[in-house]
Structure 1
Amino acid sequence: MKAQLAALLASIALPLTAGTAAAQEAALESAQPAPPAQGTMPSTPPKLIVAISVDQFSADLFAQYRNRFTDGFARLLQGAVFPSGYQSHASTETCPGHSTILTGMRPGRTGIVANNWINQKAPRADKEVYCAEDERVPGTDHSNYTPSDLHLKVPTLGEMMKAANSASRVVSVAGKDRAAIMMGGHKIDEVWFWGGKDFISYEGRPVPPAVQRGREAVAKLIAQPQEPLAVPGFCRPLMRPIKVGDQTIGDGRFARAAGDTRAFRASPALDGAVFAIAAGLIQDMKLGQGNAPDIISIGASATDYIGHGFGSGGGEMCLQMAELDKTLGGFFAVLDSWGLDYQVVLTADHGGHDMTERQQQRAMPGESRVTADLSVKAIGEAVGKQLGIAGPVLLGSEGDIYIADSVPAKRRPAVIAETVKRLRGFPQVAAVLTREEIAAAAVPAAPPETWTLVERARASFDPERSGDILLMLKPQVVGIAKPGPGYVATHGSPWDYDRRVPILFWRKGMMGFEQPRSVETVDIVPTLAATINLPVQGLDGRCLDLDGGPGSTCR
């Protein structure tokens, strides 16, 4: 895989300065993590901020593999390490999580309450809205949409930087559109993401040379079959097949047939392509070389696709962690070769939970999958029959449940009461909260691990978009009733295995330290803003002092 990454970097990021792919491979192989820093945090602002989100990189995954990392992650472990970062809200999905990372605000303020929500006033038959779409575009629906930043209600750090100095450049690259858009914001110089067959952007945006080189290199890569990846020694004990529904997984090595874009997406190769294109844009745009600080956000999405498709506890995830470590190392080595002064932060949009079947084999017999009769459709039909109300009375999926506008106003209280009563009767249900109960709760200020369920719900509640009822399943209940290809495990719960993520900061010359107490992803923006002397206010997060000595980076 490292040879594959080297070839991508050589063809995308280094067309003018690199020699052969073999020469680049040798450079990557020789790049070792920098020795532990002995000084304090550099006093001058960094020229480039590199904000990396590893989708579904839970604190549990980080803890499991941190002693196995020898390359890119090993470098980050020499910086400021916060192993108990929190996506503190209840809606631990991809879009809400990404909306917190570079805004400094929780989903209740960013407006990104879920990956999808119901807008019954949407001017189309499909009332389900995807977080990164413009539902006003004629002929679209939530799965066939026009990418948009329409729904993000607040500015990102990049926008704040541009407001302070218009010379700052903002770039965002990711394996998912929602990752790129939610971290980049509304004013992005370049925004690119994997569209299923190619890297795409907003309609009509010109394709820069770095992205075109990336497209060509990735197309060439996909056109060739991928041989099974070599298995590191520490992954071999995890390479055990397990039956899940109609499939057997657990020992996959990411072999791929020529032309299989779906398998490419759920493999370490996707992350390699994202980082190679990011490096190409840094080089072509000369990011980090101007008079104002620049920022690039990078969404590494493969871990999430692999987690959903194979679970987080098997050989596939172990291979992904090993390959991502190499990818990060190669990327950092390239930035170093250009002499850039860059500040890195790496975190995740949410955690994740391994699939039920493997958990049951690993001393967790209480693990279960949600029962099929606990669906919004099934509950809605039962409530409508009980109350004699025709048509759909409930809309939504997973946690947020909406009372249909077609229900007469005078019947809504009865529908809510009956729905809550039925939901609370299920043994797999931990809590059922109404929008009134959530709205009445105070915004929490205590450490996030102490928050009540209603406080976690309050952090991701938007009165314009959240449902009328919020359903929360008990711990160890996976919200997939029937597993299938690409979807055997998930996240989205209010429990800490989905909320806890690592937050890692690194910059050359800083003195590293580890702080095991809880912090939040909303702390990232005020922390980074302080390093570039950018005043910010009104955020949900606080500045984290990255100086491991007596000094302070929080001014």
Structure 2
Amino acid sequence: MRLRSIVTAVAVLLATAAQAQPPKPKLIVAISIDQFSADLFSEYRQHFTGGLKRLSEGVVFPSGYQSHAATETCPGHSTILTGSRPYRTGIIANDWLDQSVARADKTVYCAEDETVPGSSSKDYTVSARHLLVPTLGERMKNADPATRVVSVAGKDRAAVMMGGHKVDQLWFWNGKDYVTTAGQPAPDAAIAPFRSALAARLAQPQPALPVPDVCTSRDRAIPIGGGKTVGTWHFGRAAGDTTKFRASPEIDDANLTLASALIESMGLGRGPQTDIISIGESATDYVGHTYGTEGVEMCIQLLALDKRLGAFFDQLDKSGVDYVVVLTADHGGHDLPERNRIHAAPDAQRVDSRLDLKAIGAQIGRELKLTGPVLIPAGGDVYLDRAVPAKARAKAVARAAQLIKQSPLVEDVFVGADIAKMPQPTSPPETWSFAERARASYRPGRSGDLIVALKERVTPIPDPTKGYVATHGSFWDYDRRVPILFWWKGVQNFEQPLGVETVDILPTLASLIGLPVPPAEIDGRCLDLDASAGDNCPVAAPGTRR
């Protein structure tokens, strides 16, 4: 009996170790929920019953960081599967100013090819040309050309930044239909029936969704001015209304439906190699922008997404494919100040005339006898007009920094040339100074001459009645902190509340499939997902970051 007990105990230990040790998956599923902050994950975690509950029972990093200052969609997505911060990916914002481009429109969109004749930053050819580093899928395909790389998203920039330059299928919603980029492989067989079914769905009205019990307390109108309110929409839409389709659970459902169809049709995860599919769920971001993060709309949206992810994972389970999931977000978000002020944050406010960059530029022009606008703002980046003479540029930048910092809405201002001289931060992301956060997304030649950080709880949307009521993009942790969740069949749950970065995802996934990634080529480090004393991460060379 004693020998049998020992054998049984050893078998249990071996089984436990096998569960704790991450497998070598045949399919990597990388999901980004746009604007899914760590705050939202914490707030709704107790209410999840579907896919997000499953992931919450895996390996959980509740304090993941999009560690950089440029907390926007394109920079954030560029970090998730590259292992690199925006200063290295080259994706320093959704849009930046390039005064050297030949066209009249000097604004460059992160996922466009501005060299295409007749294009503009609003009417463009989608391209990955501005992404300067390879994605995990590209590295996998370089190591094994049989690898299939697939990317599906509700936004072109999400699909491009997670898929990269070498994809087998890349699809995104363009406002009317799911399309791909020029020069991509022929559409998979699953695409035509999917698009046909989607067109039929859009041609029908969408009834208002029921309000779950946990959402009823949030179902209240918040005045935003001009007789308008937010906080009571339940996602009903008229037939053919693609704008409301985009900002609802419907588009997330469409993304997952297409992803499932491609997994099945292409046989992803069924070959000798490991395949990868990235999925960009965008509705949470559109809901956050249009209705805020704390209303009934966000509550319905997140619970619907949780349920739909559960169905998606159930379908994967039935396929028998051995898969690993990672889920994170490209950035967080902040609620509209009108609701903040009702909910115990009376200092929340919007930008106003106390920060007028046009007036500041005009003042500098008068002082230094310069013509032209002098300053050209582009989000948090402020560029010096190229017409400013070389001998006056340093003085103009210094004076601009001084005047901008005098605004009561501004926390700090950084001179780009000074930021560029700083080393990249190596300490935990929650400890970074504002200057270090700016450094992580500063790239000379693309970033502004000045980087402006607004004060906490200041929303850079002056008028909420014209479309968007809330946003993100700040230096503050409500925009930087996102969950990072890993799951596989048999995973042994543990949670690490200390700060990690989204750039850590690539080296971590690479470790699971035995793909070597030179540490000097990325900014991230491998995360140990093994709940036992084992370690899935390769041994780091002396002096490298682990």
TM-score interval for Structure 1 and Structure 2 normalised by the shorter chain: over 0.9
Matched letter for residue 96 of structure 1: P
Of 486, 493, 515, which aligns to 2:467?
486
Partner of 1:31: none
Report if aligned partners of 1:40, 1:549 keep a CA contact under 8 Å in 2.
Answer: no
Partner of 1:451: 432
Alignment of 1:464-483 (within 5 A): 464-483=445-464
Instruction: Write out per-residue CA displacement over residues 437-462 of structure 1, whole angstroms, 9 at most, x where no aligned residue.
Output: 21122211111111001100000010
Partner of 2:205: 225
Alignment of 1:545 with 2:525, yes or no, is no
Q: Aligned equivalents of 1:211 and 1:354: distance in 2? A: 37
Instruction: Give SS of 2:217's match.
Output: helix
Matched letter for residue 383 of structure 2: Y
Report if aligned partners of 1:372, 1:481 keep a CA contact under 8 Å in 2.
Answer: no
Of 161, 171, 175, which aligns to 1:192?
171
Report if aligned partners of 1:109, 1:153 keep a CA contact under 8 Å in 2.
Answer: yes
Partner of 1:317: 298
Partner of 1:431: 412
Instruction: Write out per-residue CA displacement over residues 95-151 of structure 1, whole angstroms, 9 at most, x where no aligned residue.
Output: 000000000010010000000001111121111000000011110110110000000
Q: Sequence identity of aligned pairs in percent?
A: 57
Instruction: Give SS of 1:66's match.
Output: helix
Of 200, 220, 230, which aligns to 1:240?
220
Partner of 2:319: 338
Matched letter for residue 254 of structure 1: F
Instruction: Write out per-residue CA displacement over residues 194-215 of structure 1, whole angstroms, 9 at most, x where no aligned residue.
Output: 0000001113543322222221
Instruction: Give SS of 1:371's match.
Output: coil
Deviation for aligned residue 1:386: 3.6
Tell me the matched-pair count.
520
Alignment of 1:103-182 (within 5 A): 103-182=82-161
Deviation for aligned residue 1:384: 2.2
Deviation for aligned residue 1:485: 4.5
Instruction: Give SS of 2:48's match.
Output: coil
Instruction: Write out per-residue CA displacement over residues 285-318 of structure 1, whole angstroms, 9 at most, x where no aligned residue.
Output: 1000011100000000000000000000000000
Of 93, 96, 99, which aligns to 2:78?
99
Q: What RMSD over aligned residues (CA atoms) do the two structures have, in Å?
A: 1.4
Q: Aligned equivalents of 2:192 and 2:353: distance in 1? A: 45
Deviation for aligned residue 1:43: 5.8
Partner of 1:371: 352
Q: Aligned equivalents of 1:371 and 1:386: distance in 2? A: 24
Alignment of 1:533 with 2:542, yes or no, is no
Which shows bigger deviation, 544-553 or 185-194?
544-553
Matched letter for residue 49 of structure 2: T
Instruction: Write out per-residue CA displacement over residues 234-262 of structure 1, whole angstroms, 9 at most, x where no aligned residue.
Output: 01111111111332110110010111000
Partner of 1:213: 193
Q: Aligned equivalents of 1:221 and 1:241: distance in 2? A: 29
Partner of 2:7: none
Instruction: Give SS of 2:32's match.
Output: strand
Please give the TM-score of this superposition, normalised by the length of structure 1. 0.92
Deviation for aligned residue 1:44: 4.2
Matched letter for residue 331 of structure 1: F
Change (3 A) 1:375 1:507: farther
Alignment of 1:460 with 2:420, yes or no, is no
Change (3 A) 1:204 1:442: closer
Partner of 1:442: 423
Instruction: Write out per-residue CA displacement over residues 376-417 of structure 1, whole angstroms, 9 at most, x where no aligned residue.
Output: 334323332343322221223221011111111112123212
Q: Aligned equivalents of 2:360 and 2:324: distance in 1? A: 50
Partner of 2:543: none
Of 382, 387, 390, which aligns to 2:363?
382
Of 49, 52, 60, which aligns to 1:81?
60
Alignment of 1:518 with 2:511, yes or no, is no
